[in-house]
Every structure is written in structure tokens, then in C-alpha cells.
Structure 1
Amino acid sequence: MAPQRFREQFTQIQRSMPDVPLAVGPDDAGEFLYEKGVVLARDGEEARVVEDTVRRHFTTFAGLTPEQVRRAGPETNRSGITRIRVADPGQGDGSGDPAVAGALRALSAAEGRTGRRLVSRNHVVSIAVNACPGDEPVPASRAAGPNPAAADGVHDPGSAVAVLVIDTGLMRDHRSYPPLAHTRGDAQVAECDGDGILQQYCGHGTFIAGLVAAVAPNTDITVRGTLNDAGAVLESEFGEKLFEAVDRDGWPDVISLSAGTSNGRTDGLLGVDAFMRELRDRPTLLVAAAGNNGSATPFWPAAYADLPGYENAVLSVGALRADGESGACFSNHGGWVKAYAPGERLTGALTGFETPVPYVYQHSTYDACRYGFTYPCTCHHPRHTGVLSEDGVSAKPDQVMFEGLAQWSGTSFATPVAVGMVAAHMTARAETDPREARWQLLRANTEFAEVRGAHVPALLPPTWRPVRVSPPSARA
């Protein structure tokens, strides 16, 4: 039986958020996840409009009286968003939430009159499969070394480019990997389970930091563990957590963000609107992953790069396949993706080098590319069987051992490569403005690739080596 990757991921994320009933949207189409029974609105008058409108239409929503339509938790300060309960979240299953859909429809007329978005689902922002990364890690030999390899250069605290990675935390032994000797930040929560098995997505933030450091050695990298527990957080919390990260460390030169969600809209995420508006007025450049749905549907926050007023503030990054010749099968694409970087079969530090650690695959590979591509992509090679794809009859899940380096794929990892390219350009040109450095880098770029018929900028680090993989059928 073919794996149902999105459904498997739904199960995994729901386990990591046991107190938050989740649904698949829109209308069970398998495009994103969101909190059941709740909508988001801006604090103040707009929240009151949403509450009043839902109360007038409450008879179409199951399980609530008008008095039960109310704010579901404390209002936030910086993000300016509140959760409003519009249904009993315990009703129904995870295949959509008619009450939430009804609340959105009820507010559509008011939004038309005001010309302003008033209400939103409370989406799950995630690094997960079908969002980021594009596959699970594969052990890599130390002899082959990282790819991209560490660039020449030294770390100079006086001129280093400040990079803030918003992701999972750092593995405890990360400093034993030389490029990460100067990296600081939050520790990864619960690296292994009770049996000593590495948990899924542990090492994601460490891998990203290692890619930045390899491409741009003169960087001060801080990793914040904003996205622990299957790499997921509710939209209502995400904006506040972004503010907490920059309040704690100060606004950096560059933010590397390898998470997001689609939402079926073209005007952004309500939960991060306040953060994005403040970002727009700061000198910081946000470099964000385009997502791994193999889709042209906007993925946020990356797609802010295509919204008026955010062109300078956001660089959205898609993934090139291992040989760099075209886009990776899983990479989102479209005019809102502004650059592409290597993002398939990159090699970097999953852990440090102190202690080997076992890992059990959670997802099974496919018999062929799930997006219809014919090259030997990570959808089906190398082969493995995962726990979440088991039907009680299939073979035992595969287990591997990591001893430091891993090969991993996703726009999650194309993003820090692009971050490193911007940072390295800043160092080489003594450029202190990361936004200007981005434009200089793109203007000077001479490499391009074909992505779904489009001729797109390809940011290729000098130390990156194309990986050419023979089809599995051609192997011994």
C-alpha cells in the first residue's frame, strides 16, 4: 500500500499536540492543518465584530449557544491576535470542521465591506513532511565530508554577520562539529525517546545551522528552539514566538526560517501580520522556505516576498534537485518563489560526533515519485519502510545509525544555503545591509535552472558539489 504521507504527518503532529484537536483543510483536501472549533481575529473592535457575527449565525454551527461563542484564551500583546471559540472542538473527526468553515463564510460579507481581512483559521505552522523537510535523513560517511563543504574564511566576531535560525534547538554535542564551534542557542528538547532512538526532526535546527556556517564561516549563528515537538506550532502562537526570539537576541542581519503553511489565500497569515509589518520597517532580511508540497499554492511566510511592501524584506527559496539542473520534485514553485538553491541530498551535521545514535524511519518511500518526476528522487530512493506507513502486515520498519553526518532534502535546507550566500556576499563586499546584499547577489548571479518551465535564479555555493544518482533499477 502506498504511503499516505500527509495523513501520516497529521497523526505525528497530532501526537505532539495532544491537547489541540486538529482538522485537515480546506474541507479535507489535505493542504494544511488547523485547530478545530476556533478562529482567529485581531484584538479589539475586529474581534468583537467576529464574535457578534458568529453569534447571529450560531444556529448553523453545531453544539454552541450564542453565549458559548467567546474568546478562547488570553489575548496576546505583540501579535495582536485572539482565538475565538465557534464550536465544540470535540465534535466530529479530523476531516475538516464545518463550524469553522461556516464562521469564515459568515464574515465574508463584512470583510467585503471593510476591504480588510477579519478572520482566519488557526493554522499549524510546521517543518513537517509535506511542508518541510522533503524526506527523512540518510546516514552519510565522514570520509565523503559535508556538501556544501566548508568555505575558506575565518570567524571574526567584529565583522560576523548575525544570523538567527528559527527552528528546532541545537543537539547537545553540536560544538564537536567544527563549523558549529561558535554557534549558540537553545538546546533540542528530548533528543531521543525512552529506548534511546533519535526522535523525528531532532537535528533539523542543527543541520540548518551547519549549512549556514559551511557556506558563510564569518557568521554569528543563534538557533532558537521555537519549533520543537514535530516542528509544529499554532499560528496563534507563532507570531508571538517570533517576537520573543528577536526581543531576546535583537533583530539580526538575517533570519533563516524553514517552516510555514499554506492557507488557501493570497494575503498572508493573520497570526504573523503584526510581526511581518514590524519586520518590513527593520533592516533585517527574512529568508524563508518555499515548502515541499510540489505546489504553486502560496506558502507563508515565504510568499510574503510577492506581496507589495515586502519585496525587500523577504526572500523566498525553493529547492533544486541534487544535480542542480532543475527544481526538486517536492519544491513549491511559482512567481512568489524568488530564488532556488541546492536542497536535495545535501550533507551536513545531524548530530555532533560524540556518540552514535539510532533512528527508526517514520515514513515509507514510494514505488515512484509522488509528484510524477522520472529522475531518482528522494520519494523512492533510497528505499526504506517506516513506522507510520505500517498496516500490520508490512515488513519491519528500517533502523539506521547516525554518527554525525547525514544527507537530507527539503526547501528547509535550500533556505540556509541561500542565507549563507547572502552572508558570504556581505563579508566579501563589506556590505552591512543584508537587503542590499541580497539584491547585489541576485543581480550578479549568472546561474539559472529550469523549474516547471520557468527560468529561475540558482544560488550555487562555490563549495557545493552536484550529486548525480543512478536510477535504483540500474544499481547492482
Structure 2
Amino acid sequence: MAPQRFHEQFRHIQRSMPDVALAMGPDDDGHFLYEKGVVLARDGAEARAVEDAVRAHFTETRGLVPDHVRRVGPETNRSGITRIRVGDPAEGDDGVPHALRALTEAEGRRGHRLVSRNHVVHIAVNACPGDEPVPAPRGEPANPAPEESRHDPDTAVGVLVVDTGLVHDHGAYPLLAHTTGDPQVSETDADGLLRQYVGHGTFIAGIVAAVAPNTDITVRGTLNDVGAILESEFGGKLFEAVEQGGWPDIISLSAGTSTESAVGLLGLDAFMRELREQRTLLVAAAGNNGSDTPFWPAAYASLPEYADTVLSVGALRGDGASEACFSNHGPWVGAYAPGERLTSALTGFDAPVPYVYQHSTYDACRFGLGYACTCRFPRHTGVLSDTGESGTAEPDQVMFDGLAQWSGTSFATPAAAALVAAHMTAHKERDPRAARRQLLSSLTEYAEVRGAHVPALRPPTWRPVPVALPARSA
């Protein structure tokens, strides 16, 4: 039986947050992760109303004293969100599902959502990676290949990558020579092995620089802690990221989570409202669950008030003809870009770095597609496994000393963001949202996703990778 990557990754994230009790929701089926025993509410009167309603409900139905329900953490924060304790994970009590049910009636009276889970937002997009990186064959060029145009600091488009930080030697890769931002925290472990998802932000920056050389790229290490952050902290961190250098033209964000609601993340409400008032375009990954379940913040693109503010991006398979096996899909996904086995910089090449694989490869596509998908690539034995914490075999180890191949909507996203930036440069368009509209309206290329023809953003220098398709029956 193939190991379940979601459960493997859950353990990995839990170890990175030793002081936070995590659960899988909504019923241990792996749609999302959240903090046990805590719900989120807006500061002020709504937080007080939630606290009172939950305390009264729990006192009546569960015999808990009123003091069991209380606020935790800072009273106010940049996102305008309050964390309210509704259970004691140390005693095996989550309390969150009960609290959500208790407030259904109150939300109905007020006509809007009062409370939500405290979700985990993660760069592996719902803790389920498309695959893990592999060293590219020596001498193989980047894919997409670098455009021939040059960087002009006077006209460059500002692109902010919110992800893991830059590896220390990123400047040795010519395309990233003028990229700035936060350094990656703890690149290697005590044994000198590259940590999981180190280089994720550097890889993304390399894609942006290749497709749109006339960009000023800033990488913020908002998601340095194995790419995971609580929703209650994420909105404030996004504010910090944009305010350090001013609101950019484009934000490339390869992180998110699904939820139980169709109205977004409560912890991002303040940031999204502010974003709407700016001229910045948010380009966000649609997620790697092979599902049509909305994935936030990418799914904000489906809400009328954010239709012009957010571009949600799914991933095309290697040949660009259809969706990648892992890519989320649905009417809330605005466009698709190549996202399978792209080639970019993982390190700056100043020294070889060893990497040990974390996940086991499936024998067949876990999403039921018949082509040679990334579910079965690369072939390796991981150290995280349902068969035991240390696995049952010696884990595969590789050396990174050049470019890498990697798959996921994480990487389709910067390709799309870069095409918007390139359009701005080519047409001397200073409004990124106008450039997005112009780019999509001028498209003549489409891909087929679940029987629908969808906009396909294929960079001119991207090289299709042939895929092995199942033979058709006579």
C-alpha cells in the first residue's frame, strides 16, 4: 500500500510547530490542517460575542466552567483577528467542531461569518507536494529558458515573492544577481543535508527572472519554517512583507489552504481588503490536491469584489496540453501555466549540497490519471512513511550542484506572474491589473482541463516535456 503523503507531511509540519497542537479537517480526511482548540474571530464586539456564545453553549451542553473559554495571544494585531480558546488539546479536547456548530445560529442572525478554524497555510499547498526536486541533467538549461531582454532598473516591474527565503549563494546564478530579500533560515540540518523546501523561494525567483528579466524581484522568507504558518499569523506577515519595500506591482504567492467555507480566510480579511484598494496584482497558486475544492487565497479570484485583484493559477502537465495530475481545477481557477518538471535554480552552485528524499513515490497516479505523472516521479524511497518514522529502506540521497527540476502549482504561479510582468514591459503598461486583463483577453492558446477549454499561459521560451499517454482502446 502506498504511503499517504498528506499524513507524512502532517507529521513533518507538526514537528516544526512543537508548541501548537494540530489536527486534520474536517474529519481527518486531509483537506486541511488547523490548530486544535482555537477558533478565530474579528477583534472587538464580534470576538466578545463569539466568546460569550461559545462559553454559554459549552456550559449548558458539556459541563465546562465559563473560564474554560477565553482569549489567547495578543488582544490586537495587524490583521484584526482574535484567537479564542474553545478546548484543551492537552486533555484530548479539541472543541473547535462544537464551537463552530454553536455559532451557526448566531451567524445566521448576523448574516455573515463570525468564526473560523485557525488553518495552517503551507507552501506545499495543503501539505501535499506535487513532487520533490531532482537534480537536472548536467548542462541542461533552465526551462523556461531566459529571455534575451535585459534588466532596466528604471523601468523594471516590481515582483514580490512571498515564500521561503533566498539561499546564501543565490547571487552566483546569473539570473538572480540583482534579486534581493531575506536569507533562507537553516539551509541544512546537523548532518549537512538540505532541509525540505529549502530553495523553494529561490527556484520561484529563478522562474520569474527567466520569463521576465526586466523585473526587480524581492523574496520574503515569510514561510521559512518548513513553509508552514498559522492563519492567525499569516495576514500580519503579509502586511510586513509588502510594507518593507512598499506595495509591489505583483505578488507571487505559492501557498494556501482549503477550508470548510466558500468565503475565504478570516485571518486574511484585513489584508485582502487593503490589497483591493492598492494597484497590486496577487498571483496565487491553485493548489496540488487534484480537486475542485476552492483553495485560498487563490479562490478569492472567484469573488466578484476580487476578480480584478487576484489571478489564480493551475498547472499544466509537461506537454502543456492538459492539466497536471496534481493541479486543482474548477471555475475559480483563472488560468493555467506549465507546472510540471520545470527547471530552475535551487542553489547558487558554490558547492554541492546533499538532499535526502522525504516521501515515497506512488506505484500509480494517486489522482487516477493514466499518463506518466509526477505522482510516480522521481522514483525513490522516502524517510517519512506510514510504515514507520524512519522508513523501511535506506532513503535515496542526491547531490544538488546545479539546476533542479520541480513540479507543482507553486511553479506555474511565478510563470504566470512573470508573463504579466513581461506584458507590462512590452506594452509600457504600468497598471498590473490592466496588464492581466489585456494578457488574458489577447490569448489565442488554450488547454483542455476536465473537458473545458481554459486560458493557457505558456512562456515563449518554455520547452514542452513529452509525456507518455495511455494507449487508446480500439
TM-score range (shorter-chain normalised) is over 0.9
Counterpart residue number, 1:459: 457
Instruction: Work out the CA distance in 1 between the residues paired with 2:430 and 2:424.
Output: 6
Instruction: Work out the CA distance in 1 between the residues paired with 2:214 and 2:442.
Output: 21
Instruction: Work out the CA distance in 2 between the residues paired with 1:155 and 1:450.
Output: 35
Counterpart residue number, 1:15: 15
Instruction: Work out the CA distance in 2 between the residues paired with 1:311 and 1:133.
Output: 27
Pair 1:371 & 2:367 matched: yes
- Equivalent of residue 263 in structure 1, options 255, 259, 266: 259
Counterpart residue number, 2:117: 121
Please list, as runs of the form range in 1=range in 2, the aligned pairs for 1:288-367 lying within 5 A after superposition.
288-367=284-363
Instruction: Work out the CA distance in 2 between the residues paired with 1:64 and 1:324.
Output: 56
Instruction: Work out the CA distance in 1 between the residues paired with 2:108 and 2:125.
Output: 35
Counterpart residue number, 1:3: 3
Distance 1:81 1:353, change over 3 A: same
Q: Secondary structure at the match of 2:374?
A: coil
Instruction: Tell me by how many angstroms 1:65 deviates.
Output: 2.0
Pair 1:221 & 2:217 matched: yes
Instruction: Work out the CA distance in 2 between the residues paired with 1:63 and 1:200.
Output: 44
Q: Which amino acid is the alignment partner of residue 51 of structure 1?
A: E
Q: Which amino acid is the alignment partner of residue 166 of structure 1?
A: V
Question: Identity of paired residues, percent?
Answer: 75
Instruction: Work out the CA distance in 1 between the residues paired with 2:305 and 2:125.
Output: 30
Counterpart residue number, 1:188: 184
Regions of 4+ moved over 6 Å: 60-63
2:123–2:256 contact (8 Å) kept in structure 1 = yes
Q: Secondary structure at the match of 1:236?
A: helix
1:170–1:205 contact (8 Å) kept in structure 2 = yes
Distance 1:224 1:142, change over 3 A: same
Q: Secondary structure at the match of 1:83?
A: strand
Q: Structure 2: which 5+ runs fail to align?
A: none
Q: Secondary structure at the match of 2:232?
A: helix
Q: Secondary structure at the match of 1:379?
A: helix
1:50–1:107 contact (8 Å) kept in structure 2 = yes
Instruction: Tell me by how many angstroms 1:28 deviates.
Output: 1.4
Counterpart residue number, 2:408: 410
Instruction: Tell me by how many angstroms 1:360 deviates.
Output: 0.3
Distance 1:384 1:115, change over 3 A: same
Please list, as runs of the form range in 1=range in 2, the aligned pairs for 1:42-61 lying within 5 A after superposition.
42-59=42-59
Distance 1:291 1:336, change over 3 A: same
- Equivalent of residue 174 in structure 1, options 160, 170, 189: 170
Instruction: Work out the CA distance in 2 between the residues paired with 1:208 and 1:445.
Output: 24
Instruction: Tell me by how many angstroms 1:63 deviates.
Output: 8.6
Q: Which amino acid is the alignment partner of residue 334 of structure 2?
A: K
Distance 1:425 1:338, change over 3 A: same
1:349-371 deviation digits (Å, cap 9, x = unpaired): 00011011000000010000000
Instruction: Tell me by how many angstroms 1:268 deviates.
Output: 0.5
Instruction: Tell me by how many angstroms 1:91 deviates.
Output: 2.9
Counterpart residue number, 2:444: 446
Instruction: Tell me by how many angstroms 1:404 deviates.
Output: 2.2
1:63-112 deviation digits (Å, cap 9, x = unpaired): 9521121111103332100100011021338xxx4x10010111111110
Distance 1:217 1:62, change over 3 A: farther
Pair 1:247 & 2:243 matched: yes
- Equivalent of residue 230 in structure 1, options 223, 226, 229: 226
1:64–1:87 contact (8 Å) kept in structure 2 = no
Pair 1:75 & 2:80 matched: no
Instruction: Work out the CA distance in 2 between the residues paired with 1:129 and 1:366.
Output: 19
Instruction: Tell me by how many angstroms 1:340 deviates.
Output: 0.2
Distance 1:203 1:53, change over 3 A: same
RMSD of aligned residue pairs (Cα, Å): 1.6
Q: Which amino acid is the alignment partner of residue 331 of structure 2?
A: G
Counterpart residue number, 2:133: 137
Instruction: Work out the CA distance in 1 between the residues paired with 2:98 and 2:60.
Output: 7
Instruction: Tell me by how many angstroms 1:245 deviates.
Output: 0.8
1:130-164 deviation digits (Å, cap 9, x = unpaired): 44641100110241111000011111010000000
Distance 1:123 1:178, change over 3 A: same
Instruction: Work out the CA distance in 2 between the residues paired with 1:396 and 1:452.
Output: 39
Q: Secondary structure at the match of 1:389?
A: coil
Please list, as runs of the form range in 1=range in 2, the aligned pairs for 1:389-400 lying within 5 A after superposition.
389=385, 391=387, 394-400=392-398
Counterpart residue number, 1:155: 151
Instruction: Work out the CA distance in 2 between the residues paired with 1:223 and 1:449.
Output: 31
Q: Which amino acid is the alignment partner of residue 205 of structure 1?
A: G
Instruction: Tell me by how many angstroms 1:59 deviates.
Output: 3.7
Instruction: Work out the CA distance in 1 between the residues paired with 2:190 and 2:121.
Output: 27
Counterpart residue number, 1:436: 434
Instruction: Tell me by how many angstroms 1:470 deviates.
Output: 4.4
Q: Number of residues paired by the alignment?
A: 469
- Name whichever of 309-318 and 72-81 sits farther off: 72-81
2:116–2:266 contact (8 Å) kept in structure 1 = yes
Q: Which amino acid is the alignment partner of residue 451 of structure 1?
A: V
Counterpart residue number, 1:100: 96
Q: Structure 1: which 5+ runs fail to align?
A: none
Instruction: Work out the CA distance in 1 between the residues paired with 2:338 and 2:357.
Output: 24
1:5–1:129 contact (8 Å) kept in structure 2 = no
1:312–1:435 contact (8 Å) kept in structure 2 = yes
Distance 1:180 1:63, change over 3 A: farther
TM-score, length basis structure 1? 0.96
Instruction: Work out the CA distance in 2 between the residues paired with 1:82 and 1:467.
Output: 48
